[in-house]
Amino acid sequence: MTAANHEGEPLIKFLNDLQPLSDELIARARAETFKIFVRKNNLLPALNEVIGDGCLFFIVKGLVRGYILDEGKDITVWLTDENHLIGSIRNPGTLKPTYEEQYQALEECELLVLSYRFIDEVYDKFPEAGVLARKLLAIQYHMSQERSYLSRIPSAEARYRQFKIAHPQIKSRVPIKFLASYLGMRIETLSRIRKKAKADDAD
């Protein structure tokens, strides 16, 4: 397989656009990343099952939701699509998360796997990795802020309207039951709001 058609190229392009990468780092990334496929509605494998020390996923194709279980209730906490990294951000301390996130493919998905071992090696050996990490952290922090703001909007209709503005590329791809869960409303409420929005758009 040549460099031009290596399966890791979408990730390398994404990272290189954020911060120019050295040829050596690009070569290491090509050697260390590999692709997995997850069928629609299936759960993504646990991060430590893919690689023993855990990993992150980069979405090449598809749509994924993150969710938690609270007293048996399934709660969607985030939704994301192509050209995003997903996975648990490791706490440098010893604190464990209150809830363990799980991941479900909402479409047929192609994912690239990055092991934590490889990520740690990159930080140690490549100076540009520190700049890249800060930019990635800023992206993740911004996305977390957006979810936090969205959850605090008191009006269900305003939450849906803001979601459409912030995520025009996935608003029609998410099954209604998961979108309702993400927006903190009943399916019936979301259905009514969408029907009204569609009628307003037609006027």
Asked if 160 and 194 touch (Cβ cutoff 8 Å), the reply is yes
Domain coverage including residue 61: 3-152
Q: Per-residue pLDDT tens for 158-189? A: 999 999 998 988 988 999 999 999 999 999 99
Q: Per-residue pLDDT tens for 62-114? A: 999 999 999 889 999 999 999 999 987 655 555 566 778 899 999 999 999 99
Please tell me the distance from the alpha carbon of residue 153 to that of residue 168, in angstroms, as a whole number. Answer: 19
Q: Which residues pair with 65 in a beta bridge?
A: 79, 104
Q: What is the mean pLDDT of residues 25-52?
A: 85
Residue 100 maps to a domain: yes
Residue 74 maps to a domain: yes
pLDDT score for 159: 95
Maximum C-alpha span of the chain: 59
Report the CATH number that the domain containing residue 31 is assigned in CATH. Answer: 2.60.120.10
pLDDT score for 89: 64
At residue 2, does pLDDT exceed 50? no
At residue 3, does pLDDT exceed 60? no
Residue 108 maps to a domain: yes
Residue 137 maps to a domain: yes
Task: Kindly give, in sequence order, each residue whose CB lies less than 8 Å from that of residue 55, ignoring residues fewer than 6 positions away.
Answer: 47, 87, 113, 114, 115, 116
Number of domains in the chain: 1
Residue 99 maps to a domain: yes
Place of tokens 């604190």: 95
Tokens of 25: 């780092």
Residue 97 maps to a domain: yes
Residue 166 maps to a domain: no
Residue 176 maps to a domain: no
Please tell me the distance from the alpha carbon of residue 149 to that of residue 33, in angstroms, as a whole number. Answer: 34
pLDDT score for 13: 93
Q: Is the pTM of this model over 0.85?
A: yes
Residue 64 DSSP SS3: strand
pLDDT score for 35: 93
Q: What is the three-state SS of 132-179?
A: HHHHHHHHHHHHHHHHHHHHHCCCHHHHHHHHHHHCCCCCCCCCHHHH
Q: What is the three-state SS of 80-110?
A: ECCCCEECCCCCCCCCCCCCCCEEEECCCEE
Tokens of 152: 């605090």
At residue 195, does pLDDT exceed 50? yes
Please tell me the distance from the alpha carbon of residue 176 to that of residue 52, in angstroms, as a whole number. Answer: 35
At residue 48, does pLDDT exceed 80? no
pLDDT category of residue 19 using cuts at 50, 70 and 90: very high
Task: Kindly give, in sequence order, each residue whose CB lies less than 8 Å from that of residue 44, ignoring residues fewer than 6 positions away.
Answer: 38, 57, 64, 102, 103, 104, 105, 109, 111
